[in-house]
Chains A and B, each alone.
Chain A
């Protein structure tokens, strides 16, 4: 008996053609492929029907929209892989800029105020996680209640009115007034988190926790800590996205984000290839999921399709991509995965 691993032994002897075929095969099997293809095809389609699609102002618009959603989606994917869900992240998105604003007004410099806001937002994640793990309340319920709690809190401290951050230009530019900087943030966050997911112990334990919580605990993985940590990351990223948008818009609105942006982030994750059942997901996929949502929304606006139609199309798109994803993962199961 010996190990007869085909991929192991063929590596040395593959010809160029074999390599190309292998490469192609791995791309086709990769779970991000379908969503990237969708993004490209949709862009081509909208460019041909509405030539303004690739105009500079429109691309900038699209970039802002997709970047915000993608940053939140990165955190949401981590939570979804644990087998949990965070419904409160859109409220953290709205709360964090207010914390920053009030901290700044209390006399600390903007960067410190921002750190305070991020820290307090991470505490929201900590609360979500501890309640879910220690009191064994489903995260759907935990985060549903923190959703309302935070929303009410933000409205209370703001009195329901928007405020102006008036941040120094250099800072505002670095954190997102410039569309390019916001897109760079989104891409960098997606790459870093994808790396964490596939190449670090934290990512591996996150997958293990979502894949088989009891089994992971039996070999000593601290599944509770993993879940709590990922809730904190999700809140942190939601807060960061909120702060970026606050700088960009130049105004902090207590009604910004909310359930709308949370559902968009979950939709991006799902059409990007993350299963809600836990144990598997992709952050790069969610990034492209956000791009697809942005392209759809934007393209329809340009073509004069109403927002109502957009929602119907989005609903269908989620169903279709889920269907395709389930099919594809069966295909992958037959062909070997990563």
Chain B
């Protein structure tokens, strides 16, 4: 029975491998539906031409004032807006700015949050103190008011300026999570072990800490995309975001409010698109989080 130690371990089989994340995700209906919708919205943003022409119309700028505010008609399932343009193709084209802003803001927030959060979490001390105080300032400030003031002062209102403002007020939430996650990862034993064999700060940060600390931030970012789209529309609706002639759901809703009584379809169709899009991104983020976060999967045993 007492065989050599060395021979014995090689024969050890691994514990059964975990089922893949994707396999787990595919079994969730919420994930399937929300990711399908999100994909369609992204496709609409990328190639609106392909969708806009389905019912005959197709050019959002081909307008005829004669049709101003008319309800749905054959070939124009959503009716016409105040300028007499086909509302359906306008709504389709509206996805573009929403998705573009969502992308820009998400990318921007991740970069800022990962850099600042990692610096604060890894180096601690005064670096952390400075970054954390800056975050506190943003947390204490009413974000909506801040965004409105800044955008009102801005001279141009395009996707870039709106994104910049959304990033400015959005990064602290992510950075705080990143900081916490880095703090936890950096005290991990495998980080100490890497330092023990002589790895330098850059290697430890890039090779060990970042990849292992990104999980929660990635998940939170996913949860945020829906919120970003909603905020963009809200700012635009309030008149400080994108402005006509830009095509966006927010702009459409902004115009629609004045004509709600006479032409309710102007409000209804863009809102449906906006709501479904936001909802599907939120659901998508949610199911990603459930799949990623093992803490939510554990059952708690209590007497």
Do chains A and B stick together as partners? no
Footprint of A on B, CB under 8 Å?
Answer: none
Footprint of B on A, CB under 8 Å?
Answer: none
